Amino acid sequence: MINIVLFGKPGAGKGTQAEFLKTKYNLVHLSTGDIFRFNIKNDTDLGKLAKSFMDKGDLVPDAVTIKMLEDEVDKNLDKDGFLFDGFPRTIAQAEALDTFLETKNWKITATIALEANDEILVQRLLERGKTSGRPDDQDEEKIRNRYQEYNEKTAPLTEFYDKQGKFHAVNGIGSIEEITERLSKVIDNL
């Protein structure tokens, strides 16, 4: 069982790399954004609850997010592990994830951060915004605000996982193949 937390600022290539890693290692890619959209679109009880907070402009409480993740894990018990993308974002979420995984006699195997220079990532997102239709990829100020939030929230997580010997940084600049090779080298040596 391999359970990996994939970190990286918006535009770092998490989604692209997750596609390769999930196939290569038979992992389930759990993107909190995708899970939220699925639950809201399908009008599930958890989706309705999450939407009630989002409609007020509030953050969805950790308990709701964690329950959505737990449901997805429970649907995929036949896989060789999970690739968590966009979660955890806080120490409390990391601790809740650890507690949940312990109920299955599992643990986080590693956290891997795709690291890249902000200026390169801003250009990547602005380019992506030309075709993605995402307004948050088309406004440089919004992009930089997302990076500031990432820096504030993820720094403590880096330390949290580093103390456990589970944190690995990978250079996120280069061709898709080069980055996949770097990530695979980390995973293969776990």
Q: Per the residue annotation, which of 128, 142, 153, 166 is the catalytic one?
A: 128
> Is residue 124 flagged as an active site residue?
no
Determine whether 144 is an active site residue.
Answer: no
CB atoms near residue 53 (< 10 Å): 13
Instruction: Return the ∠ at Cα 68 (arms to 63 and 69), rounded to 5°.
Output: 95
**Residue 12 counted as an annotated binding residue:** yes
Is 134 assigned a ligand-binding role in the annotation? yes
Known active-site residue 182: no
Known binding residue 86? Answer is yes
Residue 16 assigned ligand-binding role: yes
- Which residue in 14, 22, 124, 182 is the catalytic one? 14
The DSSP letter of residue 113 is E
Question: Any known ligand binding at 88?
Answer: yes
The answer to whether 89 is a known catalytic residue is yes
From the candidates 22, 89, 124, 182, give the one annotated as an active-site residue: 89
Would you say 144 is a known binding-site residue?
A: no
With both helix axes pointing from N to C terminus, report the angle between 62-75 and 32-41 in degrees, rounded to the nearest 10: 90
CA-to-CA distance for 119 and 6, rounded, in angstroms? Answer: 21
- Is 59 annotated in a binding site? The answer is yes
**Any known ligand binding at 27?**
no
- Per the annotation, does 85 bind a ligand? no
CB of 187 within 8 A of CB of 21?
yes
Distances (CA, A) of 4 to 29, 97, 111, 147: 10, 12, 6, 22
The active-site residue, picked from 48, 134, 144, 185, is 134
Tokens of 130: 């030309």
Active site residues: 14, 89, 128, 134, 146
Q: Which residues are annotated as a binding site?
A: 11-16, 32, 37, 58-60, 86-89, 93, 128, 134, 146, 174
Annotated binding site for ATP: 11-16, 128, 174
Residues belonging to the binding site for AMP are 32, 37, 58-60, 86-89, 93, 134, 146
